[in-house]
Structure formats: structure tokens, C-alpha cells
């Protein structure tokens, strides 16, 4: 099992560009989520999904879109990148709710100039 995979590992964008961060898991987990990690801020939840076709907003959803067409994939879209979105992004999955063990991907480091 590969677990949770994320691509790319590192990306540089210019302000206003769009891009999609990819996340995939091969554990047949229903729950998937996206967090951003900023220095001195811990991790903050962006969006989450409790199954294919079902998504909801987390603490900091503005500027990000998600969709969940399959159990395995949960891409995060930046519609118009801003310097404030410079961060490290982590995808996570678990069999059920957040009370169960979350399995995190290795992260995507994003720099917006």
C-alpha cells in the first residue's frame, strides 16, 4: 500500500495563477481532508469529505475548491493564487471520523510570488 500520496512536492506560482494539488489514498477510506500548515499556527482544516460526492468547509476554506468524484482522490484547487496561500498543504484520510487515526500524506510546499 502506498498510503496517502500527494503531488507535486513543491510548486512555485505567480499571483493570480490557478493550480490543483493532487491527493490520493489506496486504503479505501471514506474520510479525507486538507490542512494547511503555517509557522506558529499549527494545522488548520481547509475542506473535508465524508465520502464520494460529499464535501464540506473547514476553518479556512476561502480561495480553495474541492470535489470528490471517487473514494480514492480528493484534489484541492486554488482558483487564483495569492501570497497568503504560501504554505505547506497536507492531505489526510481515515476510515471514519476525525476521532479515528488520520493518515497524512508527505505534504506539498507551495510558494506564491
For residue 31, what are the CA distances in angstroms to 1, 4, 5, 10, 18? 17, 12, 15, 25, 26
CB of 93 to another protein, least distance (A): 11
Rounded-to-integer distance, Cα 28 and Cα 42, Å? 27
Rounded-to-integer distance, Cα 105 and Cα 3, Å? 8
Are residues 34 and 91 in contact, defined by beta-carbon separation less than 8 angstroms? yes
Query: What does the chain come to in residues?
Result: 113
Q: How many residues bind another protein (CB under 8 A)?
A: 26
SS3 85: helix
CB of 74 to another protein, least distance (A): 14
Q: Which of residues 42-71 bind another protein (CB under 8 A)?
A: 42-45, 48, 50, 56, 58-59
Rule CB under 8 A: is residue 16 a binding residue for another protein?
no
CB of 97 to another protein, least distance (A): 4
CB of 35 to another protein, least distance (A): 8
Element (H, E) at 63: none
State the binding string over 78-107 for another protein (x if CB under 8 A, else -).
Answer: ------------x-x----xxx-xxxxxxx
Residues binding another protein (CB under 8 A) = 4, 31, 33, 40-45, 48, 50, 56, 58-59, 90, 92, 97-99, 101-107
Amino acid at each position: 500500500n502506498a498510503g496517502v500520496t500527494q503531488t507535486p512536492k513543491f510548486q512555485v506560482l505567480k499571483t493570480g495563477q490557478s493550480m490543483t494539488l493532487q491527493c490520493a489514498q489506496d486504503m479505501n477510506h471514506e474520510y479525507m481532508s486538507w490542512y494547511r500548515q503555517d509557522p506558529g499556527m499549527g494545522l488548520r482544516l481547509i475542506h473535508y469529505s465524508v465520502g464520494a460526492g460529499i464535501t464540506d468547509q473547514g476553518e479556512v476554506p476561502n480561495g480553495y475548491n474541492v470535489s470528490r468524484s471517487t473514494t480514492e482522490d480528493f484534489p484541492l484547487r486554488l482558483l487564483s493564487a495569492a501570497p497568503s496561500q504560501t504554505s505547506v498543504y497536507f492531505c489526510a484520510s481515515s476510515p471514519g471520523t476525525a476521532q479515528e487515526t488520520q493518515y497524512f500524506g508527505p505534504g506539498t510546499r507551495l510558494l506564491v510570488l
